[in-house]
Structure 1
Amino acid sequence: MSFFGVSPYFVAVFIFGAFEKALTAVIQTQQTVLAAVGEDAEVSCQLLETKDVLQVTWQKISNDVQENVATYSKYFGQRVNDGFTDKVEFVYTGLQNCSIVIRNVTEQDEGCYRCLFNTYPEGSFIGRTCLQVYELHEPVVDVRESNSTEEWVVSCSATGRPAPTVTLSVSQQDLNFSQYNTVSVSNTNATFTVTTTAVLSGSRKHSTQVGCAARVLSAPHREVMVTIPHDNDEKSGSDPRNLGIRISASLSSVVLLVACVTALIFVWYRKKSQSSQSHRQVEMNVIPT
């Protein structure tokens, strides 16, 4: 059905757009939504005051460019605009409470999303949520001995966007880090690799765990732990390399023992065989009377 040859959907958008006002006090929404690359991000708005809402409109604003994303109305139902059909879906549809989800977010999905509760004759009540997309990979820790027997050089690298914050920690209280050095490298894919290096010193009474945590914005951090074995553990063979040496030595001893036993059996069997042959030869030389 059309109105003077124009789709009702576009008539509704035109009418509601003409009455749009910056009425934001009664909208409940998040100011910022964080989402990692590849995750889904949900954006929702709730109108706290009861109003005669005719349609809810979602818009995206990025680099001062405004795009209509999706709409929901009682008469026309839900509709996702071209260009967003494979990206945006409705989670909950209501004229007082409405939410959408942005699938598999990328850097291009960053921006602010507006929800407009279009009413008549008051106009549009507007809420605004900004989506921040971040990237954070698992940190990589490297531990090596320094020139001093009671010092270790600990290095941790983390890649993300924006540049992550890298923090080192140690489980043993009487050990401490010093001589911190942090280097940030900009990568061609707009990510940053941050490497923090420090010297761990002190007397280790037992095995120690060294941790590295990487964080971007206020998103959940990612952490890895590495165990530094104690000297006594290494001497007692807790080091897998020492265990491998012991296993190799044991196998060599077993092989040598088996070879010796085989040689003895061979010598014994040969002597026995020669003795039997000599006895038969003597019997053959005896002349019966």
Structure 2
Amino acid sequence: MEHRALVHLLCVLGVFHKGLTDLIRTQQVVTAAAGEEARLSCQLVEFKDVFQVTWQKVLPEREETLVTYTTTYGERVNPDFKDKVEFADAGLQSSSIIIRNVTEQDEGCYHCLFNADPEGALTGTTCLQVYELHEPVLHVGDSNSEETVVSCSATGRPAPTVTLTVLRDNVHFSDPVSVSNTNGTVTVTSTAVLTGLHDDSTEVRCAVRVLSGPQKEKIMMIPAEVKQSADGFSEDSGSEITAFTTITTLSLVLSLCCVAAAVTVLLIRKHRNRIETPLMQ
């Protein structure tokens, strides 16, 4: 890992640009996401009598040929890279290659050589940097009547930039925390503490990025908390208590009505029995 970083730095500084002249235009550093394709290109600024174009990967001790192109033999690919590298633009004045399914092992610098007559090899160098970025994870922790904790985490290589945005006042942001993983990625977590979420819903945004790759974003709405009444019960719980009291009162009234009806029936029956019973002589 350290050696690859050194190779990349030397490429950027121009140490490997041997034979390079102002005749070649190329992108100094190309970035690509892991698993995607990378396109490397070189172009001659002035017309030259080129008879062969060669692409090489710069290794610690040597250069390894990937593909070549000549008008006589056409495109030729090193068998070791048959399913990995191909020409996107096979020409003698400009040339591009595609590296498929890039991984960490593809990082490094690449030479494009225009073999011209009588100049010889005109060499350009471009370096590939592979990054990795997973979807951000936005989490809202348990809240109490005073504070709510919001965090956003992102894992990538190299360490991603995590930007947590809360569209409200009374927010305290903590410094991001980074954790290195065994696979070479880094997890970065940004945290914010929100206070006073009683009245309005709050929008939280989390944006993450690695190098110059596209930004990934996640948005979440935090609903307002239930308002508290003066006696300590929430509005919803107060409604439940009122309904319970009403039901209890109605039940009590119905019970009293039933008892009164039963007593009335007993009194009527007793009065009838007295009328129907003959008086003793």
Report the TM-score when normalising by structure 1: 0.69
* Residues 1:176 and 2:171 are matched in the alignment: yes
1:61 positional shift: 0.8
- What percentage of aligned pairs have identical amino acids? 61
Say if 1:135 and 1:160, in contact at 8 Å, map to a contact too.
yes
2:191 to 197, 204, 220: 197
Match of 1:221 in 2: 215
| Matches of 2:198 and 2:111, distance apart in 1 | 57
- State the Cα deviation string for residues 57-99 of structure 1 (Å, max 9, x = none): 1000133441111101111111111211110011111100111
Say if 1:21 and 1:123, in contact at 8 Å, map to a contact too.
no
Match of 1:187 in 2: 181
| Matches of 2:155 and 2:182, distance apart in 1 | 12
Any idea what SS the aligned residue of 1:78 has?
strand
Structure 2 gaps of 5+ residues are 1-16, 228-235, 237-281
Say if 1:110 and 1:133, in contact at 8 Å, map to a contact too.
yes
Match of 1:74 in 2: 71
Match of 1:16 in 2: none
Say if 1:154 and 1:197, in contact at 8 Å, map to a contact too.
yes
What is the total number of aligned residue pairs between the two structures? 215
Say if 1:166 and 1:214, in contact at 8 Å, map to a contact too.
yes
1:176 positional shift: 3.0
1:33 to 19, 30, 35: 30
1:24 positional shift: 2.5
Amino acid at match of 1:27: I
1:150 positional shift: 4.3
- State the Cα deviation string for residues 2-57 of structure 1 (Å, max 9, x = none): xxxxxxxxxxxxxxxxxx96033111111111111110001111101010001111
| Alpha-carbon spacing, 1:80–1:204, altered in 2? closer, same or farther (3 Å) | farther
1:124 positional shift: 1.4
Say if 1:208 and 1:229, in contact at 8 Å, map to a contact too.
yes
1:156 to 152, 157, 164: 152
| Alpha-carbon spacing, 1:21–1:213, altered in 2? closer, same or farther (3 Å) | closer
Amino acid at match of 2:164: L
Say if 2:197 and 2:225, in contact at 8 Å, map to a contact too.
no
Q: How does 1:39-54 map to 2 (within 5 A)?
A: 39-54=36-51
Any idea what SS the aligned residue of 1:38 has?
coil
Amino acid at match of 1:28: R
| Alpha-carbon spacing, 1:186–1:23, altered in 2? closer, same or farther (3 Å) | closer
| Matches of 2:226 and 2:111, distance apart in 1 | 63
* Residues 1:57 and 2:61 are matched in the alignment: no
**RMSD in angstroms over aligned alpha carbons?**
2.5
* Residues 1:24 and 2:18 are matched in the alignment: no
